[in-house]
Amino acid sequence: NSRLFARVLVSTDSEEIGDIARWYGAEFLRRPRELANDTASLESVALHALETLRAQSFSPEALCQLMPNCPLRRSPDVTEQFEDFQRTGSKFLISVVPYRSVYPHWALTRNARGQGKWLFGKKFLVDSKKLPPAYCPTGAVWWARTSDFVKQKTFYGKPFRLAPMDANRGLDIDTEEDFALADLTVRGLRSRGDGALEPVGRVSFLAGATHA
């Protein structure tokens, strides 16, 4: 919906997910076996996508990675961060969300005997109002200049810029607990009339498959 992209690729080794991607107008990029496992990095997948595009004589100036486990982001989030990326001339831009209800500065680690230790020492043991802002990376929107990404092979290249976004919209779903939180978040957003999931302009894949 942002209308920013010349091409949208979905990298996967799943035929089912590939069919869904095509249904919604994206290109199905078949992921090779060596990248279709739990140890493959996001960067290696992105590099494979760029190599595939280069073989097709298509060389984008910039690339954007939108992780599928952040389904609450909206096209304005993508657009606003692209505008920031362009305006500042950044090489890399990472979406982040503020920590809510907890202060990572006070993080503790626990040894095998159950004894605690301050993870960052005692320098942050001050009133919470005096703590510096802290942010957590989210997979919602990552931008990179293609040439810099290929050289550094990371989205956290030097230097990378942080782009704060709404914590609800930047929610990562990695566990069942995250999924339950996302469900509550969607219900809360809808109760406030905030929409939650953004319409994509056509019937759902399941409905379309039923009538195909």
8 Å CB contact between 185 and 167: no
Confidence at residue 126, expressed as pLDDT on a 0 to 100 scale? 94
Residue 190 falls inside a structural domain: yes
Does pLDDT of 200 surpass 70?
no
Tens of pLDDT, residue by residue over 19-37, are 999 999 999 999 999 999 9
Residue 157, number of CB atoms within 10 A of its CB: 16
Across 32-60, average pLDDT: 95
Rounded Cα–Cα distance for residues 169 and 137 (Å): 13
Task: Give me the CATH number covering residue 20.
Answer: 3.90.550.10
Token duo for residue 180: 């339950």
Residue 1 falls inside a structural domain: no
Rounded Cα–Cα distance for residues 103 and 191 (Å): 28
Residue 114 falls inside a structural domain: no
Average pLDDT, the chain: 91
Q: What pTM does this model have? A: 0.86
Residue numbers of the domain that contains 151? 9-99+134-211
Residue 4 falls inside a structural domain: no
Across 33-52, average pLDDT: 94
Q: pLDDT tier at 104 (50, 70, 90 boundaries)?
A: very high
Tens of pLDDT, residue by residue over 117-170, are 999 999 999 999 999 999 999 999 999 999 999 999 999 999 999 999 999 899
Strand extents, DSSP E, the chain: 9-12, 27-30, 62-65, 92-98, 108-110, 116-118, 135-145, 160-164
Calculate what percentage of the chain has a pLDDT beyond 90: 79
Residue 182 falls inside a structural domain: yes
Residue 148 falls inside a structural domain: yes
Q: pLDDT tier at 208 (50, 70, 90 boundaries)?
A: low
Rounded Cα–Cα distance for residues 140 and 137 (Å): 9
Residue 77 falls inside a structural domain: yes
Across 81-88, average pLDDT: 97
Q: pLDDT tier at 190 (50, 70, 90 boundaries)?
A: confident
Residue 175 falls inside a structural domain: yes
Does pLDDT of 211 surpass 50?
no
Calculate what percentage of the chain has a pLDDT beyond 70: 91
Domain count, the chain: 1
